[in-house]
Amino acid sequence: MVSLKDISKACGVSVATVSKALNDQSDISQATKELVRKTAEKMGYRPNAAAQALKTNRTNNIGVLFVDDANSGLTHDYFNHVLDSFKRTAEDNGFDITFINGAKNSPNNVSYLAHAIYRGFDGVVIACVDFTDPQVDELIKSSIPVVTIDHVFNNRVAIVSDNVKGMRDLVTYVYEQGHRKVAYVHGKPSAVTQSRLSSFYKTFEEYGVDIPDEYVIASPYRDTESAFNATNQLLDLPEPPTCIFYPDDFATFGGISAIKQRGLKIPEDISIVGYDGIDLARRLSPVLTTVVQDTGKIGALAASKLIELINNPKTALIEHLMVDGTIDTGESVKKIDSDLK
């Protein structure tokens, strides 16, 4: 293992100078710092993480709280791209990431906060959890720097996809294609669901379109079986919709299955739209009409804002940042004569 003494010999400077150079202290010239750093890198020097943490009160480790009730883990089509972007940005800035275990997965019944303290995380990003969980509330109220994704707490930085605008754009496109009988199989209660549902109702109201109660059905996100059942329920109505919105792209697969089992075609007999813009849905035939969320920007922003909180706790702003998505009009919405439907 390469030591500071080895580097000092190679550079022809003292061990103290090497230490100061690696710690970017101001009383060492820039030329010496560059010489020491390049030499250390060439020799494969790695600082002792435990000793460095004791000295700086920093571990350069960020905790990731990601608890998916559907147990999809990192196969979750939306959040895996968000977290991949988060990870790359964090690593580019010298941070490692570690997933947080909580009471549900811990034999010792360790809370999220207890795990974060035990690991010495410099900060935590929270995504895809039950934000009403008391454990989450405990973590939010702690002194640990926290950034949330797709949920807003007044005292914490939040990165949120603009679900209101995304749904408004989607409704507007469907309306312009002539659809007036539109159903919505929406996700289970959450801040994201409420934003999308309110925007769905409000936009159609502005267009003078009434949405019957029987056209709106709650269904878990990414649950194809529930989407399958909801689709059959809608198609069995005396006046079925001409277009069905689904909570996310993955859930549309259940809807597509129900539609095909009835011998119906998309979009000739029934139009459908999703939400998220996952790769698989965009390879369907016909290509799914959906909102493509900017997962790269969401993840990168979450990482950069959390690192800012860690590095500059006194000046970092508590912001709630919106990230726009874009409409992929796809091929799953048929243009119809609105006077006849």
Strands (E), the chain: 61-66, 96-99, 123-127, 146-149, 157-161, 182-186, 216-218, 243-245, 271-273, 290-292, 320-323, 326-328
Mark whether 239 and 317 lie in a shared domain.
no
Mark whether 265 and 170 lie in a shared domain.
yes
Mark whether 285 and 181 lie in a shared domain.
yes
In a domain, 336, yes or no: no
Question: Of 151, 154, 114, whose CA–CA distance to 130 is shortest?
Answer: 151
Convert the pLDDT of each residue in 72-119 to its tens digit. 556 678 889 999 999 999 999 889 999 987 555 555 567 899 999 988
- Identify whether the C-beta of residue 120 lies closer than 8 Å to the C-beta of residue 100: no
- Mean pLDDT, the chain, rounded, equals 90
Residue 252: count other Cβ atoms within 10 Å of its Cβ. 31
**pLDDT score at 122:** 95
Is residue 212 predicted with pLDDT exceeding 70?
yes
- Determine what percent of the chain is predicted with pLDDT higher than 70: 90
In a domain, 247, yes or no: yes
Question: Domain of 108: which CATH number?
Answer: 3.40.50.2300
Specify the amino acid at residue 130: D
- Determine what percent of the chain is predicted with pLDDT higher than 90: 68
Mark whether 86 and 185 lie in a shared domain.
no
Mark whether 312 and 199 lie in a shared domain.
no
Mark whether 186 and 238 lie in a shared domain.
yes
Mark whether 219 and 120 lie in a shared domain.
no
pLDDT band, very low/low/confident/very high, at 3 (cuts 50, 70, 90): confident
Query: SS in 3 state form for 255-271?
Result: HHHHHHHCCCCCCCCCE
In DSSP terms, 323 is beta-bridged to 161
Is residue 265 predicted with pLDDT exceeding 90?
yes
**pLDDT score at 166:** 97
- Residue 266 sits in which domain range? 163-293
- Identify whether the C-beta of residue 189 lies closer than 8 Å to the C-beta of residue 131: no
Question: Domain of 15: which CATH number?
Answer: 1.10.260.40
Region 198-213: mean pLDDT is: 97
Q: Could you give the CA distance from residue 81 to residue 54 in angstroms, rounded to a whole number? A: 34
Is residue 17 predicted with pLDDT exceeding 80?
yes
Region 246-273: mean pLDDT is: 97
Convert the pLDDT of each residue in 283-302 to its tens digit. 889 999 999 999 999 999 99
**pLDDT score at 20:** 83
In DSSP terms, 245 is beta-bridged to 184, 273
In a domain, 142, yes or no: yes
In a domain, 15, yes or no: yes
pLDDT band, very low/low/confident/very high, at 22 (cuts 50, 70, 90): confident
In a domain, 137, yes or no: yes
Mark whether 120 and 194 lie in a shared domain.
no
In a domain, 303, yes or no: yes
In a domain, 131, yes or no: yes
Give the number of domains in the chain: 3
Mark whether 173 and 268 lie in a shared domain.
yes
